[in-house]
């Protein structure tokens, strides 16, 4: 196993663990910190790929990723979390333990899918990318409260970034910039919507919003 493969395996393990740990807790702060660590690992990985693949442009991507995904967005999220009425999710459809189990199944599933076609060099990044995306998807689909749903969306984007860096490190940096810009706007818009919800209905629970059907 080469150095780059060892590093990408470590990164894959780290991001998958953070993705699972968001699923495994109902406290907003813990979920947020898992997201921060996931973003830090992503930024570090980007920097490593910059060196190993010789794409110096990726250094910039790593720096900007760190600033936006690991600092700016969490700072906004922290403000959103502070405005929430509680410190943890009150309404859960599924216990955190069962969510965690579903998460593990999703990771195994991703491994099966990815191993069918990926070469050993891109395997870890693709596995992690798909696992994080699926866990994010599951998080935003399975939690009734708005905050974890938002984190789910953000994790989907992290997963896609992993795929980008692992699969197409040559992708011009402009594409990473537009995605980050979009992410910031997304977090602001959703943050305001959560505020509107909590100020009107004293709850960040989107399950109380269920009058539109059919």
Partner 1 sequence: MLSAYLIVPLGYIVLAWLLPARWLRSVAVPVGAAVLGLGIAVAARVLSIGPLQAWGGVMRVDGLSALILVTVSLVVFGSSLHALGYFTVERLSALRERTYASLWAGFALTMLAVPMFANLGVVWMLVELTTLSSAFLVAFEGRRESLEAAWKYVVVVTVGVSLALLGTILLYYAAVPVLGRSFSLSWPVLLGHAGQLSVGPLRLAFLLMVIGYGTKTGLVPMHTWLPDAHSEAPAPISAMLSGCLLNTALYGILRILPIARPTLGAYPGVVLVAFGLLSLFVAAFSLRGQSHMKRLLAYSSVEHMGIVTLGFGLGAPFFAFLQMVNHTVTKAMLFYAAGNATQVTGPGIDRRKGLLASMPVTGAALLIGGLAITGAPPFNLFSSELGILRSAWAHAPWLAWVYLVLLAVVFVAFVSRLTRLVFGTQEEGGAGAASARLAIAASGPGDGDAPLDGGATEVASEDARASVRLGTVVVLLFLVAVLVLSLVTPAPLSELLKSASRILGGGA
**Cβ pair 179, 157 in contact under 8 A:** yes
Residues 159-198 close enough to bind partner 1 by CB under 8 A: 160, 163-164, 167-172, 174-175, 178-179, 181-182, 185-186, 189-190, 192-193, 196-197
103 touching partner 1, by CB under 8 A: no
Minimum Å distance from CB 136 to partner 1?
9
**DSSP secondary structure letters along 57-117:** HHHHHHHHHIIIIIIIHHHHHHHHHHHSSSSB----SS-HHHHHHHHHHHHHHHHHHHHTT
CA distance 141 to 183: 19
Minimum Å distance from CB 211 to partner 1?
6
CA distance 73 to 177: 14
Residues 38-97 close enough to bind partner 1 by CB under 8 A: 55
Minimum Å distance from CB 141 to partner 1?
8
Q: Which stretch binds partner 1 (CB under 8 A): 11-19, 65-73, 80-88, 156-164?
A: 156-164
Figure out which of the listed residues 41, 70, 100, 156 binds partner 1, where binding follows CB under 8 A. Answer: 156
CA distance 54 to 158: 22
Figure out which of the listed residues 31, 110, 133, 205 binds partner 1, where binding follows CB under 8 A. Answer: 133
Minimum Å distance from CB 197 to partner 1?
6
3-state secondary structure (DSSP) of residue 27: strand
Task: Name the H helices within the chain.
Answer: 3-23, 28-53, 57-65, 73-83, 96-115, 123-142, 146-167, 173-201
Report in angstroms the alpha-carbon separations of 195 from 75, 81, 191, 203, 212. 15, 10, 6, 9, 21
Nearer to partner 1, 97 or 181 (CB): 181
Nearer to partner 1, 97 or 111 (CB): 111
Contacts to partner 1 by CB under 8 A:
55, 117, 133, 137, 140, 146, 149, 153, 156-157, 160, 163-164, 167-172, 174-175, 178-179, 181-182, 185-186, 189-190, 192-193, 196-197, 200-201, 206, 209-212, 214
């Amino acid at each position: 196993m080469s150095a780059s493969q060892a590093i990408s395996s470590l990164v894959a393990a780290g991001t998958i663990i953070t993705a699972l740990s968001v699923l495994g807790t109902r406290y907003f702060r813990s979920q947020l910190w898992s997201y921060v660590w996931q973003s830090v690992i992503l930024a570090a990985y980007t920097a490593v790929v910059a060196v190993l693949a010789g794409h110096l442009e990726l250094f910039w991507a790593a720096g900007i990723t760190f600033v936006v995904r690991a600092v700016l967005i969490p700072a906004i999220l922290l403000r959103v979390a502070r405005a929430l009425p509680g410190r943890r999710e009150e309404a859960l459809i599924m216990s955190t333990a069962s969510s965690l189990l579903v998460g593990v199944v999703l990771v195994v599933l991703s491994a099966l899918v990815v191993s069918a076609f990926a070469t050993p060099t891109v395997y870890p990044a693709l596995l992690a990318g798909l696992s994080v995306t699926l866990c994010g998807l599951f998080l935003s689909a399975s939690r009734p409260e708005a905050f974890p749903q938002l984190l789910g969306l953000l994790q989907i984007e992290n997963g896609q970034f992993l795929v980008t860096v692992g699969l197409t490190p040559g992708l011009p940096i402009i594409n990473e910039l537009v995605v980050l810009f979009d992410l910031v706007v997304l977090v602001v818009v959703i943050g305001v919507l959560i505020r509107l919800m909590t100020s009107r209905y004293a709850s960040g629970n989107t399950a109380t919003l269920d009058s539109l059907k059919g």
